[in-house]
A and B are shown apart, each in its own frame.
Chain A
Amino acid sequence: MAEQIQKKLQGELEKYQQLQKDLSRAVAARQKLEAQLTENNIVKEELELLDATNTIFKLMGPVLVKQEMEEAKGTVGKRLEYITGEIKRYEQQMQELERRSEQQRETLGRLQQELQRGQGKG
């Protein structure tokens, strides 16, 4: 009986650990996105500072490709929106993961109690 509980406990524990890993991954991704968000914001602002006479390049691989000012601004704006959307998505994911991990924790707690009881009896 106790062994069964122990096995169950192991299984639940692994699930919980997996959830935790997912959570941390999501957190890291979100942080990266945040950094990109800041960066793109700075780029946008600096583009405002420049005027039409400046040539704008985009680094694609080893190549610097010339871009138009408006094109660049548009691209940067779109990228910003994309990043914010990604952040939101990751937020939701994180919440979901947290909820699930909370449930797992409860389950783990219960199993542990059962195990203790079983051990106590036996």
Chain B
Amino acid sequence: MEAFSGALPLSPALVGRLRQECEKVVTSCQEKIQHWKKVESDYEALQERLRTLPNKLSYDIMVPFGPLAFMPGKLVHTNEVTVLLGDNWFSKCSAKQAVELIEHRKKHVRKVLDDLQKVMKNFESRAEFTDLQKMSDAAGDFVDIREEIEDVSIETKGKYRTAHKPHSKPKLSNVFEVDFPANGSDTKSMGHFQSEEELWAHLEELERQEELLGELDRMPNTAETNGEDTSSSEEEKEDKRTDLNGMYRAEDCITQGNFHKEVTNSDLFGGQVNGSTYYHSDDEDDIDVGDNSVPTIFFSHTVEPKRVRINTGKNTTLKFSEKKEEANRKRKNSSGNGHATPELPNIKTPADIYRVFVDVVNGEYVPRKSILKSRSRENSVCSNTSDNSAAEFDDRQGVQRSISCDEATQSDNSESILEEEEEEEEEGQQQLPKKLLPSSGTTEAFSGTVIEKEPLSPSLIPHPVIAHPILPTILERKSEEVLSKASEETPKRISKFKAARMQQPS
């Protein structure tokens, strides 16, 4: 042990002393154990003697006479034994009874021995441990690994879901590649809620990386549709690097059901993706990257809108779909938001999704069920792998969304409107999920119905700020819900209570 600062609790001197004490205890325990073992063996010998003693009526023995003399004598009454019971109590009993008494005492001795053994073992391990500590301190090889948990309170509704769908590639890359240079700020730092721009930037960065990784492998269908969204969003957010892409990806992810990655991604993204599907962002990213090396997520059930590659900046291109562009433009107009993508709720963990995306039931905000559960599918923004139902949904949703877009001009209003619309949509979608379920069993983990609400949805990815509720897409709606629910996550979010209040007057 070299010079460690004396202030260290694990200074070598202290550790050495601790170890000494431990060893002392261990040695004392060993001594005691020795002593008690001897006692036990003595008792054994005594029992043996008692068993043989009554064999003869009398024995001829040499009787000790003082310390130095013996004299011949006889040992009589061989069956009568006076036993010391303890505490100056004696009892006369037969040899057999004495044997029983001894047995009883041996039990007691064994108990003591066991206790001592346990204590010894304990202290031995302790001594070892302190030794290890000392070693580690000296060597510095073993480091106390500490990971500061970021502020994100990881809330999960139930257990973390694991991806059902096997992905072609492990999603690890998503997690590791994220070295988010601060697009504006290092949002990537674990779970720091940062400005939306930063989050968007991060997300964008991630997406690019995804593309680079060429992980777009999965569900090409779902990927495409989402990819379109993402591309459009990316396009719009290029500067701002909003999280739309992430959101789309999240949506895609839902279909893919790659929870694991999503979780990691979501962490990486810092909960940027809004919407229930946020945790799927990983998949989305992957999807995007996989196909055509462009972050596009395509839904099998939806008609592939025209995709155009967009250079989103760092060596990545996104597919741009006209639909997405429309949606984006629509949003821009309706929301009056200069940014192509509405602010998304700050989602950093899958749990955030549940916070952000809430179902609007009777004007109240009800936590949304997981998308993997049948009921949640209706609201999911992910594109459904099944072709037919998804398309139907899209149409329906598109109409509804557009309505919501137009109508919602203020956050309050839009929220209420969206809520209503969402309700409608949700109800409508509820039936579809059932139908879609069977068909979507291909590769996605999320086999439920993922209805991609029209291409607008990507652009409508809910943004953390409720102020821009006019999101025609379900995504937006969801984001709004999420926003409304996760009031604590971003200052601009409106708590569900507030939303409810706002909704009431409407």
Chain B CB within 8 A of A1 CB: no
Chain B CB within 8 A of A13 CB: no
Chain A CB within 8 A of B146 CB: no
**Chain-A contact segment, one of B67-75, B89-97, B317-325, B491-499:** B89-97
Contacts of B93 in A (CB 8 A): 50, 54
Chain B CB within 8 A of A72 CB: yes
Question: What is the size category of the interface that chain A forms with chain B?
Answer: 20 to 34
**Chain-A contact segment, one of B6-14, B99-107, B163-171, B467-475:** B99-107
Contacts of A79 in B (CB 8 A): 87
- Are B87 and A43 interface neighbours, CB within 8 A? yes
B475 CB to closest chain A CB, in angstroms? 65
- Are B86 and A57 interface neighbours, CB within 8 A? no
A49-B101, A57-B82 as given contacts; A42 in contact with B108, CB under 8 Å: yes
A42-B86, A43-B87 as given contacts; A49 in contact with B92, CB under 8 Å: no
- Are A58 and B104 interface neighbours, CB within 8 A? no
Residue of B nearest to A61 (CB): B88
Cα distance A54–B83 in the bound complex, in angstroms: 11
- Are B89 and A45 interface neighbours, CB within 8 A? no
A49-B97, A49-B104 as given contacts; A39 in contact with B91, CB under 8 Å: no
B82 CB to closest chain A CB, in angstroms? 7
Cα distance A57–B84 in the bound complex, in angstroms: 9
Q: Which of B44-89 contact A (CB under 8 A)?
A: 82-83, 85-89
- Are B89 and A76 interface neighbours, CB within 8 A? yes
- Are B92 and A36 interface neighbours, CB within 8 A? no
- Are A59 and B101 interface neighbours, CB within 8 A? no
A42-B108, A50-B97 as given contacts; A56 in contact with B90, CB under 8 Å: yes
Contacts of A93 in B (CB 8 A): none
Cα distance A55–B426 in the bound complex, in angstroms: 91
Cα distance A102–B108 in the bound complex, in angstroms: 38
Residue of A nearest to B88 (CB): A59
A42-B108, A45-B104, A57-B82 as given contacts; A50 in contact with B91, CB under 8 Å: yes
B interface footprint on A34-65 (CB within 8 Å = 1, 0 otherwise): 00100110110111011000111111100010
Q: Which of A46-96 contact B (CB under 8 A)?
A: 46-47, 49-50, 54-60, 64, 72, 76, 79
- Ranked 8 nearest A-B pairs via Cβ: A57-B90, A59-B88, A43-B86, A39-B86, A55-B92, A43-B85, A56-B91, A54-B93
16 more contacts with CB within 8 A, not counting A50-B97, A55-B91, are A39-B86, A42-B85, A42-B105, A43-B86, A43-B87, A47-B89, A47-B91, A50-B101, A54-B92, A54-B93, A56-B92, A57-B91, A58-B88, A58-B89, A64-B90, A72-B89
